[in-house]
Structure 1
Amino acid sequence: MSKCSEAAEAVANIEELLTQILESVPLQSLTRFKCVSKHWQSLISNLRTLKYPKITSFVSSKTEAGSFKSIPIDHREIPSGWNPFKTFNDSFTDGSWLKIIQSCNGLFLCCVSPSIVRREKDLIVRRPNRGVTGVFVVNPATKRFLALSSPTSSSFNSWERYALAFEPSKSPHYTLVCVTTLNGTLHQKIHIYSSKTQEWKHVADLLSSELRYFRSDERSREGSVYSNGAVHWIRDINRAGFPKNRLFFCKKAGNFSRLKSDVLHYFDIGEENFLVVAATPPVPTVVKNIPLKECRNRGLKTPIVWPILVHRYFGDCGGRLYLIEVYSHCNTQFDVMEMGKDYSGWFIKYHVDLNPTALPQCNLDPFVILCLSREREEEFGDPSTTMMLHMPGKVISYNLRDKNFKTSSVLTIEDTKMYKVGYYPYMETLACV
């Protein structure tokens, strides 16, 4: 046996050293290395980098060629024209493409958007997708996807809301939740799909006036948010009223209050329970601080500007739900709200002030909040939470507690259209779909 072979065998026999080497190996190589032996397969399956994948970039909800956009972080470089969803889109012969509705630890939940037949001035004519229904669970890193049809036979007389739950640190399997609402009724069906059993299971029938308005809300993400063993939707049960915000000003009292209309729907994966809790956020600090002016009659006061909601972030960080609302009259100041661990309600965790003094040489108009993340665990007190912000020409990481920032990436293209689409975290996983 050569000295080189002896050295390689020695490294292979030192499990700790081998694990460190495998954690630095590209994902595609790990796929091949799993075939070396059962021992290697076990080592690779339990790598920390796969159980706790890190975000490498953010990708747009539109994956169509020409519309797809990506945002790198941590000074990573993305090849020109990179689109990890191109292979899937090319498989549609009618020109359709995948639209992302949720990402969860490396897996993506997608639906199919219809293809464009022709453009006529300001009119875009789209061809409906015939024979393509349900959703897709996609792993762009391994170039694998699973197409799932609706779990009910009444999909044409109903609408459906899907959610994906995947936590590789606890299980290699994922769960898909489908809430089906029959048109014109209060009747809802809950089904779950398990990648372990590879089949849909009916778990509940709901009939409640409280769930009547379980519908899309323009202030929230189209998909759900997975957090701490449950998938969550934040929705609005008030059909009428102010479409852009739910604030009410009382002239007599001279202050703003919230309309009690927001609710939080969530499905507990382990308990297989679908629950609803009141989730009306507190009045934002920037709204409370709006100056008032005297009315012409009766000595009442009114705000000098009306707060208009322009951006809303709803997501998970460290197993907790967070909600951020940005208003047009003061878009550099906003509250970061956290949901109580027992779903007791939203409370203000941090107040952010992105003024030019705090962020010199940064153009904050426009900007979008990409995510919240935990950087490190402290020996005492709360862990450090950072907020990733995308603004013209760069991505910055802002520490919510220390109120300092660092540039995460410098972008070569400043495209204002990038702020008009939703973005989802991209990370690599070997998870089977």
Structure 2
Amino acid sequence: MLYPVSSATYAIAGNQDLLTEILLRIPAKPLLNFKFVSKQWLSLISSSQFRLSHSRRHRDNASLTAAALLFHCDTSHNPSGGFHIIPFKSHCSRLSFFDYLKHPAVKIMQSCNGLLLCRSYDKYLCLKYFVCNPITKKFRIVSFPQVEGFVYAVNLAFDPLKSVDYKIISIRRLIWVAPRFHIDIYSSETDSWSVKALSFTNVWLKNGVFCNGAIHWESEGKSSLYLDMENMCLKVMPMPVRMLDAPEGSYSESNRFLGESWGHLHLAVTYKPLALQFNIFEMAVDYSGWFLKYRVNLETVMNGFPEMNSYPREEGGNQISAACVIRSNKDEVSKVVVFVNGKAISYDLNDGTFTSLCDLDPCPKTYGSPSNDEVLDVYQYFETLSCV
């Protein structure tokens, strides 16, 4: 049975500005299907200007929230190419994020406002870096300059509110010259590299996180570094004093997890032997230091999930192997996602409620706490139309 098309429908379809305003309000995932409605819609949604406007709108009004978490779980049978998916939206659990890349052994290096910086090896075992957008299935392979030294850290800087373009920062240490480093900067706008020579003390730059126009690195020392992208200069960032705010009964730190959520840097710290208690620190706006934001005790969570005690785990009892803070921009109510004995759990830091998200594939990283020198790769996945 055919239904008559209203005059309002014709009016909307014929008004490009009105149609654009409507489509800009639709999330990225369903919007991709709307491209098949007509040639007009395909042309509009595929345009670079629309993609930029859509990305900025959804980033600016706090609707760009993580759709899932991704982490490398070392399981060859995983259909997502070695990455386990912790979905916040139901459709994410069925996605194969890297099936279109045709690259084996994909490793995510960083997540940044919807784009992923990844690396992989080709059939000749040559290392390749690329930037991709899983929602649009577009990617760009980036060739590094053939220069002296070895790569020390590689990170991505992208803020759709400021520019449609992104930058890749490669820090390389010069051989036989210490401590001297060069920072190679790739611009997607020019598809080229520039070089900046810097000298700084030898620090281990771990877990690069882009936040508020700068790339921040974690360090096990008293201070670390962050790179101001606008002024292109390195600055010192203090790190929390070890064990200063540790829970009573703990004797050492177990692991730190540096992350960003809505313009705020968070550092989750777990302790030995109190594996179910951890602290969440937040960086002050003026970078004067970290302050204790939350103390978390998950003993009640374990009581709510007695089946988790049946999972195999390392000697020493229940263990937390990740703690990723998800912050709300509107009311600052935060949640933390933790992996406990083979389950991913979302814990509301405001009211103490918790939700079981999914069971995790068996692997060493999902049972027990990783060793102090092991980085647990957990990344937020955003759905956006941003171009690569």
Same fold by TM (over 0.5)?
Answer: yes
Q: Which residue of structure 2 lines up, in the alignment, with residue 258 of structure 1?
A: none
User: Cα offset for 1:230?
Assistant: 0.4
Q: Which residue of structure 1 lines up, in the alignment, with residue 85 of structure 2?
A: 71
Number of residues of Structure 1 aligned to a counterpart in Structure 2: 355
Q: Which residue of structure 2 lines up, in the alignment, with residue 86 of structure 1?
A: 99
User: What does the per-residue CA deviation read over 1:346-387, in whole Å, with 9 as the maximum and x for residues that have no partner?
Assistant: 221221121227862364833333521222524xxxx22221
Q: Which residue of structure 1 lines up, in the alignment, with residue 373 of structure 2?
A: none
TM-score (norm 1): 0.71
Q: Which amino acid aligns with 2:222?
A: D
Q: Which residue of structure 1 lines up, in the alignment, with residue 129 of structure 2?
A: 135
User: What does the per-residue CA deviation read over 1:293-324, in whole Å, with 9 as the maximum and x for residues that have no partner?
Assistant: xxxxxxxxxxxx742x3332101122121111
Residues 73 and 359 of structure 1: is their aligned pair in 2 closer, same or farther, counting only changes over 3 Å?
farther
**Equivalent residue runs for 1:44-193 within 5 Å:** 45-47=52-54, 48-49=57-58, 53-61=64-72, 65-66=76-77, 68-74=82-88, 76-78=90-92, 82-88=95-101, 90=102, 92=103, 96-113=104-121, 129=125, 132-133=126-127, 135-154=129-148, 157-185=149-177, 186-193=179-186
Residues 111 and 189 of structure 1: is their aligned pair in 2 closer, same or farther, counting only changes over 3 Å?
same
Pick 1 or 2: higher relative contact order, CA cutoff 8 A, min separation 6: 2
- The answer to whether the Cα contact below 8 Å between 1:63 and 1:98 also exists between their aligned partners in 2 is no
Q: Which residue of structure 2 lines up, in the alignment, with residue 228 of structure 1?
A: 212
Q: Does 1:395 align with 2:344?
A: yes
User: Cα offset for 1:336?
Assistant: 0.9
SS in 2 for 1:18: helix
Residues 313 and 25 of structure 1: is their aligned pair in 2 closer, same or farther, counting only changes over 3 Å?
closer
Q: Which amino acid aligns with 2:278?
A: F
Query: Of the two, which has the highest radius of gyration?
Result: 1
Residues 206 and 406 of structure 1: is their aligned pair in 2 closer, same or farther, counting only changes over 3 Å?
same
- The answer to whether the Cα contact below 8 Å between 2:276 and 2:319 also exists between their aligned partners in 1 is no
The gaps in structure 2 that reach 5 residues or longer are 310-317, 371-375
User: What does the per-residue CA deviation read over 1:131-186, in whole Å, with 9 as the maximum and x for residues that have no partner?
Assistant: x34521122222222222223522xx423311101122333221111111112312
Q: Does 1:9 align with 2:10?
A: yes
User: Cα offset for 1:228?
Assistant: 0.7
Q: Which residue of structure 1 lines up, in the alignment, with residue 268 of structure 2?
A: 324
Q: Which residue of structure 1 lines up, in the alignment, with residue 279 of structure 2?
A: 335
User: Cα offset for 1:26?
Assistant: 1.6
Question: Counterparts of 2:53 and 2:37 in 1: how far apart (Å)?
Answer: 14
Supply the RMSD in Å over aligned alpha carbons.
3.3
Q: 1:415 aligns with which of 343, 362, 382?
A: 362
Q: Which residue of structure 1 lines up, in the alignment, with residue 352 of structure 2?
A: 404
Q: Which amino acid aligns with 1:228?
A: N
Residues 263 and 357 of structure 1: is their aligned pair in 2 closer, same or farther, counting only changes over 3 Å?
closer
The gaps in structure 1 that reach 5 residues or longer are 116-127, 237-260, 291-304
Residues 31 and 177 of structure 1: is their aligned pair in 2 closer, same or farther, counting only changes over 3 Å?
farther
Q: Which residue of structure 2 lines up, in the alignment, with residue 213 of structure 1?
A: 202
Of the structure 1 ranges 26-35 and 184-193, higher mean CA displacement relative to structure 2 is found in: 26-35
Residues 74 and 187 of structure 1: is their aligned pair in 2 closer, same or farther, counting only changes over 3 Å?
closer
SS in 2 for 1:356: helix
**Equivalent residue runs for 1:274-313 within 5 Å:** 274-286=234-246, 289-290=248-249, 306-307=251-252, 309-313=253-257
Residues 181 and 376 of structure 1: is their aligned pair in 2 closer, same or farther, counting only changes over 3 Å?
closer
Q: Which amino acid aligns with 1:29?
A: N
Question: Counterparts of 1:272 and 1:406 in 2: how far apart (Å)?
Answer: 42
Question: Counterparts of 1:173 and 1:341 in 2: how far apart (Å)?
Answer: 26
